[in-house]
A and B are shown apart, each in its own frame.
Chain A
Amino acid sequence: MEKLKSFLNKSLLFLALIIGVLFFLLPIYASTVFALQDVEGNYSLDPISRAFANEEITRSLLLTLRISVLTVVLTLLVLIPTVAWLHIVVPQARKFVEFLSLLPLVIPPIVQGVGFLYSMPSFLKSTPYALVFAYMILAMPFTYRALDAAFSAIDTKTLYEASLTLGAKWRTLVFRILIPNVRTGIFAATFLILALVLGEFAYASLLLWDTFPTVLAVAGMGDASAAVALSVLSLLGVWLALNVINLLNKSNRSIVNVGVR
């Protein structure tokens, strides 16, 4: 009786697993077939080459990539010293800064976008690269959390005092002690920013910039196959980024983090 019960239990869980996996894989499969099949039912990679031959799309992809790299670099430049400072010099201020870092979660991206549009000086509204600042804010709840967790996992203050006592120079302290020890946090922050920038639509569409998501939305009206192909590719891109970062990370700690969209 007990055995039968546990077997039934297992089977039900297995069924749940199968249904769940199917729910996530079917749209990917259907989209791939939809994108690559022509009217006669033959498969070709034509829609993909068509998408990449479209100058507007390649230009928007390049812009989005540049924005994401800049966002990663600037976020790390601002946050790593600040979080290190918080752990070494003023740990009593950590609660307050954490609270500030969570504020962007309370303001939906579309509302932040409207605020940006109505408060920023015109020189910041005349270049798409100002989106970098907006995206730093959007990603901050997660990037701050990732880095703060990484600095909490090591005893930052002891490492700092030990290395200075042993006569380490600042450069050694920063590049050979602190940064290697918090690399999991750095990788996690990098992934979260890449995923966010690759999909961000609210700011870009309000400010009328041709980033990849906004161009993709318009392209969908014209060439459905190409747009669907690009959609699947962008999902694959995020997946690839996560795997590459996990590989680089080499530590056992997974960097998968809770993201909020």
Chain B
Amino acid sequence: MKRYVDYFGLVPLLAFIVAFLGFPLLAILRFSFQDSEGNYTLNNFQTITSGIYRDAFWLSFQLSLFSAAISLVLGFIFALAVTRLQIPILKGLISTASGVFANTGGVPLAFMFIASLGTYGLLTDWLRKLGIDLYANSWTLYSFSGLLIVYLYFQVPLMVLVSLPIIEGIKREWREAALTLGAPYGLFWRKVIAPIIAPQLFATFLLLFTNSFAAYATAAALTSGSLALVPVQIASLISSNVQVDGANTAMALGVGMISIVGIAMTIYIVLERRVVKWRN
């Protein structure tokens, strides 16, 4: 017989989660299916799948896709360089730095890039002296590609943190076995390494995607709302309060975000579990 008393120790944590995650989540769900008068309706979901809100989802999606893909490649190469070159203390230093960079972001990051690549930024100035005018062709830091560069600053370190254990999981014996048996280096990578790390890399891609999809602070501070990503739209709907059913539309946008992130994270967790099981 199960002893229900055994579960009493979990009550504080469960109560806390229900109060501060359950209630907010319920509120979002309920309001997203209501108009501002409290009548039940599906209008909000019609609103967010058309016009500027559909564009916002598309913009957020593209930004997350590009930033995840680019940081996946760059971060992996960087982590490969760090592990393969075997320079003493380098690995410790890089993983500490990555821990810091992956965990910062937001407002300070935006200001650092304004100081570097903004219209009057120092790097912009240097490049201008070298004859490269970044701002000549109507490019700005506050555009899509500018924000993409800024996002790499926390996405690549996250990729490095995740890649280091993946690369260290590639055993020396595998390479030695393959090379002794006469496999060329390229074949070894294609037939041995790729199948092993592909699921892990795909899981990491999803992690990077959701990380950038959910990010708000960096975009808000850098573009002051001019680049209409979904989180930016939610914040402006809540704070401006001019649109009919504005808050309800924001909640529906929230439900949309939760669905997309939820799907990606579910696949991520399933893949991660399989990898862990396989590794042990």
- Residues on A lying within 8 angstroms of B by beta carbon are 10, 13-14, 16-17, 20, 23-24, 26-28, 30-31, 33-35, 78-79, 81-82, 85-86, 89-90, 93, 97, 100, 102-112, 114-120, 133-134, 136-137, 140, 192, 195-196, 199-202, 205-206, 213-214, 216-217, 220, 224, 227-228, 230-232, 234-235, 238-239, 242-243, 246, 254, 256-261
Q: Is the pair B102, A114 in contact by a Cβ cutoff of 8 Å? A: no
Q: Mark B92-130, 1 if CB is under 8 A from A, else 0.
A: 100111111111111111011111110001110000000
| Contact partners of B82 in chain A: CB under 8 A | 17
Say yes or no for B211: interface residue by CB 8 A criterion: yes
Given A90-B9, A206-B238, 4 other A-B residues pairs in contact with their CB atoms under 8 A: A108-B213, A115-B27, A136-B20, A213-B108
4 closest cross-chain pairs (CB), A and B: A115-B24, A85-B9, A201-B217, A231-B108
Majority SS at the chain A contact face: helix
Majority secondary structure of chain B interface residues (helix, strand, loop or mixed): helix
| A30-B121 CB under 8 A given contacts A20-B74, A259-B103 | yes
Chain A residues with Cβ below 8 Å from B250 are 114
Smallest Cβ-Cβ distance to B87: which chain A residue: A17
A134 CA to B84 CA in the complex, in Å? 42
Cα A196 to Cα B102 in complex, Å, equals: 11
Inside 8 A of A89's CB, which chain B residues have their CB?
6, 9
Note all chain A residues with C-beta closer than 8 A to B158.
258-260
Q: Determine whether B220 belongs to the interface, using a CB cutoff of 8 Å to chain A.
A: yes
In the complex the two chains form, is B162's CB within 8 Å of A258's CB? yes
The residue in A100, A110, A200 that gathers the most chain B C-beta atoms within 10 A of its C-beta is A110
- Other-chain residue from B96, B108, B265 in contact with A256 (beta carbon distance below 8 A): B96
A54 to chain B minimum Cβ distance, whole angstroms, is 15
- Of B10, B102, B107, chain A has the most CB atoms within 10 Å of the CB of B107
B31 contact set on A, CB distance < 8 A: 118
Tell me the minimal C-beta distance from B24 to chain A in angstroms. 3
How distant is the Cα of A239 from the Cα of B93 in the complex, in angstroms? 11
Of B12, B27, B211, the residue contacting A78 (CB under 8 A) is: B12
The reply to whether the CB of B177 lies closer than 8 angstroms to some CB of chain A is no
- A82 near B12 (CB under 8 angstroms)? yes
Tell whether B66 is near chain A: CB-to-CB under 8 Å.
no
Is B144's beta carbon under 8 Å from chain A? no
Q: Across the interface, do B103 and A205 meet the contact criterion of CB distance under 8 Å?
A: no
Min Cβ gap B164→A in Å is: 9
Task: Tell me whether B228 is interfacial, beta carbon within 8 Å.
Answer: no
B239 interface contact, C-beta 8 A: yes
Give the residue of B21, B103, B152 whose beta carbon is less than 8 angstroms from that of A196. B103
Cβ-based interface call for B254 (8 A) = yes
A117 to chain B, nearest CB (A): 7
* A17:B10 contact, CB within 8 angstroms: no
Contacts of B102 in A (CB 8 A): 258-259, 261
A244 → chain B, closest Cβ, in Å? 12
Does B25 have its Cβ within 8 Å of any Cβ on chain A?
yes
A59 CA to B98 CA, complexed, in Å: 30
- Residue on B nearest A14 in the bound complex, by CB: B85
- At the interface with chain A, which of B39-47, B168-176, B188-196, B255-263? B255-263
Q: How many whole Å from A182's CB to the nearest CB in chain B?
A: 16
Known interface pairs A17-B82, A90-B6, A108-B257. Does A199 touch B104 (Cβ–Cβ under 8 Å)?
A: yes
- 5 interchain pairs, CB-CB under 8 A: A103-B21, A107-B25, A108-B231, A108-B258, A235-B108
B33 on the interface (CB 8 Å rule)? Answer: no
- Which residues of chain B come closer than 8 Å to A213, judged between CB atoms? 106-108, 217
Shortest Cβ gap from A93 to chain B (Å):
7
Beyond A116-B24, A206-B235, is A106–B85 a contact (Cβ under 8 Å)?
A: no
Contact B104 A202 (CB under 8 A): no
Q: How far is the CA of A227 from the CA of B222 in the complex (A)?
A: 13
Complex: A256 Cα to B213 Cα, angstroms: 23
Instruction: Point out the residues of chain A lying under 8 angstroms from B12, CB to CB.
Output: 78, 81-82
Q: Are the C-beta atoms of A230 and B116 separated by less than 8 Å?
A: no
